Structure 1
Amino acid sequence: MIADETLTVDGARIHYRTAGDGRPVVLLHGGIIDAAHVSWPPVVDRLTPEHRVVAPDLLGYGESELAEDTYSIPRHAEIVAGLLDSLDCGPVTLVGLSLGGGVAIQLALDRPDLVETLVPIDPFGLGRDLPNGRLSLLLARVQVCNRLAIAAFRRSRRLTRASLDGIVHDLDALPEAAVDAVYEEVQRPTAGAAFRRFRDAEVTRHGYRTTFTDRYGDVGVPTRLLHGAHDELFPVDWAERAADAIPGAELHVLDDCAHWAPRENPDAVASHVESAVSGR
């Protein structure tokens, strides 16, 4: 049974979902419109028979507080570290998707005592280039575009579904439950606010502020990178470069996925997480 809990971390109320018993696995979701209940349910279902799973809503996402704070990758990592310290459940297998993948890598660098194994999935932080160049910079500076898009999605499940075409390989194969989860989350009054603050903190005229390309050699925990073969946001060659530079890292390219593997192929994601936990 999944339990919904909250803790106050560095003055902010952080919501998390927890289920199961066994060796701990922590799942960090992505950005834009995401939360623990959006990306992770099918993976949680597959892991809980053997593992204790903790899936927090990152600062400002889902049911976590939208606090006045800096929404940078290092700050998100500090909050997650505080949560794990409070739960006394480290070291953990730390799994992160996209934004959460960047947070997971940052945490492994900052607090290796909390991380037993690292599983970044299409993670942020493997390159500095913005996916759409100056357009990405413009959208980060003119945040009204994001507000208008979210307002449109709130009025139309059809538009919400269509927007997911940019992060999945086969929209027709995407389970309707995944669309429903995004559509439900976009109704939240604070939807998009944390992502806008993240862009304020991380998008610069020179590209992304946080990148780990000069710190790969400092990652001192076993690392299993997962990356969708069809990801158009973060290219596969970024993950290949990271896998070559992180000591002992493995890269597994998921042929049927783009950027949302936990919903596109939860069986593969869960299987890789289980293998990472067991060291296989």
Structure 2
Amino acid sequence: MGSGADTAAMIDADRDISDETVTVDGNRIHYVTGGTGGPPLVLLHGGIIDAAHISWGELLGPLAEQARIYALDLPGYGTSEMPDGPLSMETHVDAVSSFIDELGIEEPVVAGTSMGGGIAIGLALSYPDRVSQVVALEAFALGSELPNGLLTWLLAKIQVTNYISVALMRRSRGFVERSLDSLTADTNTLSEATVDRVVAEVKRPGAGAAFRKFRASEVTRHGYRTDYSRQVSELTVPVRYIHGTEDDLLPPRWSERAAERTPESDLCLLEECGHLAPLEQTGRVADLICDVL
């Protein structure tokens, strides 16, 4: 993708949403912000080929009507700078905490999807004073088992398939569509605008590099390195868990188990929904987030 200024235009030119940057721990972080004077809402995207305007692109407008939104490109994603060293869950949690501190955001609701959902939970565990409530959508880091066992570990170690996938996505819009469809319950749910955003993002120099670093840190021979499934019993803030019943990437049972162990929580299972809930069931997800603001 091009400059950060292009991001807001790709979301909704008619809304008061703007692109900003801030230096966090020595690295430039791009974020999208806007909305009313309502409660602050920090939005965290997923991994692979993602950025704030992809996972949350369909929701930024509706959410900005109810809250002051801050949707950041996590380190190494979108137009945010890639930090030196490993890019682990801990790295992302610390970066989001520093982002909240740097902007002086007071007790936001933090909503994250997939990798971002795990980061939101990790943030509430490590920095409970930074967060008023968490909304975790099909969250990573609520279990350790790999979806394809040792094959997942092997692919994470050699990384060849990710390079090939990125190359194919750069050459073929059809391959982008099929890749996204594989994560959904209904292949007709994703908008053309969402596909356009992924097509633009995958052409950005360095696309996929942050996810490769993340997998190198988080995927081990024995499972995912970060697993908050037992630590959630120590959470001191409310958590709303949301999960698609047809999610084949991160199993719904992870969120079900976490909800049972979290002292103050509720669980919303979305029927006929895969791994991309904010994009598959945009209206329902908007309602579930706004309900906790």
Contact 1:227–1:239 under 8 Å retained in 2: yes
Does the alignment pair 1:196 with 2:212? yes
Match of 1:42 in 2: 58
Question: Counterpart of 2:199 in structure 1: which amino acid?
Answer: Y
Q: The residue matched to 1:185 in structure 2 has which SS?
A: helix
Does the alignment pair 1:273 with 2:293? no
1:59-70 equivalence runs, <5 A: 59-70=75-86
Does the alignment pair 1:9 with 2:24? yes
1:231 to 240, 247, 258: 247
Match of 1:54 in 2: 70
1:178-193 equivalence runs, <5 A: 178-193=194-209
Match of 2:257 in 1: 241
How much has 1:42 moved relative to structure 2? 1.6
CA distance in 1, matches of 2:214, 2:239: 25
Contact 2:230–2:261 under 8 Å retained in 1: no
CA distance in 1, matches of 2:281, 2:218: 29
Match of 2:41 in 1: 25
Q: The residue matched to 1:270 in structure 2 has which SS?
A: helix
CA distance in 2, matches of 1:225, 1:189: 34
Question: Counterpart of 2:84 in structure 1: which amino acid?
Answer: E
Contact 2:240–2:266 under 8 Å retained in 1: yes
Contact 2:40–2:68 under 8 Å retained in 1: yes
CA distance in 1, matches of 2:17, 2:268: 29
List structure 1 segments (4+ residues) > 2 angstroms apart after TM superposition.
none
Does the alignment pair 1:136 with 2:121? no
CA distance in 2, matches of 1:5, 1:185: 18
1:144-223 equivalence runs, <5 A: 144-223=160-239
How much has 1:90 moved relative to structure 2? 2.1
Question: Counterpart of 1:86 in structure 2: which amino acid?
Answer: E
Match of 2:267 in 1: 251
Contact 1:228–1:261 under 8 Å retained in 2: yes
Question: Counterpart of 2:33 in structure 1: which amino acid?
Answer: T
CA distance in 1, matches of 2:63, 2:172: 33
Aligned length: 277
TM-score of the pair, normalised by structure 1 = 0.97
Contact 2:63–2:69 under 8 Å retained in 1: yes
Contact 2:125–2:232 under 8 Å retained in 1: no
How much has 1:164 moved relative to structure 2? 1.0
CA distance in 2, matches of 1:241, 1:63: 35
Q: Alpha carbon RMSD of aligned pairs, Å?
A: 0.9
Match of 2:87 in 1: 71
Question: Counterpart of 2:78 in structure 1: which amino acid?
Answer: G
How much has 1:67 moved relative to structure 2? 2.1
Q: The residue matched to 1:42 in structure 2 has which SS?
A: coil
1:180-213 superposed Cα distances (whole Å, 9 cap, x missing partner) = 1111110011110000000010000010000002
1:93-132 equivalence runs, <5 A: 93-132=109-148
CA distance in 1, matches of 2:220, 2:97: 26
